[in-house]
Amino acid sequence: MPRRLVYFGISLAVVALDQLTKAIVSARIPLHDTIPVIRGFFDLTHVKNTGAAFGIFASLGSPARATILTLVAGGVFLAVLAWSLSSPVTLTRLQTALALVLGGAVGNLIDRIRFHSVTDFLRFYVDRWEWPSFNVADSAISVGVVLLAWDIWRHPGKEPETCTQN
């Protein structure tokens, strides 16, 4: 059981860092303002994302969009939690990946429930090419998904229980 607490701690740390950074951005950077950090590459910018990850579905005008996205996020959270709890705690890479995804999902779910949008503030770009703004929760989810993909790539066709962590 203590090992599960480590993964719970990872998720909790992601949620805390995500919510802290969003609160700081919301308090110190007016909505739609930008602070250049590395000119021509990276800015802090305060935007509200009413869509899914990286602004997907933000342009849909449906009044039910926020409710649907909240329900989908809640469903993903429950599915990932079930996967984590049903997988052996000894699979370090898998459990770490799932903990990152869970923490990120909860961080963004808190915003969706409280504000019907998610605060994004990390903006990377080069010249006219720009990556959609994102936040700490999105980063944790992305790293978690990469770790999951790595695990699947390293052990193709095997069930997670039979994989050994290297």
Q: Is 151 annotated in the active site?
A: no
Cα 142–chain centre separation: 6
Task: Tell me how far CA of residue 132 lies from CA of 6, 85, 118, 124, 140, in angstroms.
Answer: 32, 33, 13, 8, 16
Q: Is 120 annotated in the active site?
A: yes
Structure tokens at 115: 């504000």
Contact 111, 146 (CB under 8 A): no
Catalytic residue among 18, 43, 111, 138: 138
Is residue 130 within a helix (H) or strand (E), and if so which, with residue range?
Answer: strand 129-130
Structure tokens at 52: 């899914």
- Print burial letters for 68-100: b (CB count within 10 Å at least 16), e (below 16): ebbeebeeebeebbebbeeeebebebbbbbbbb
Catalytic residue among 43, 111, 120, 151: 120
Structure tokens at 66: 């926020």
Catalytic residue ranges: 120, 138
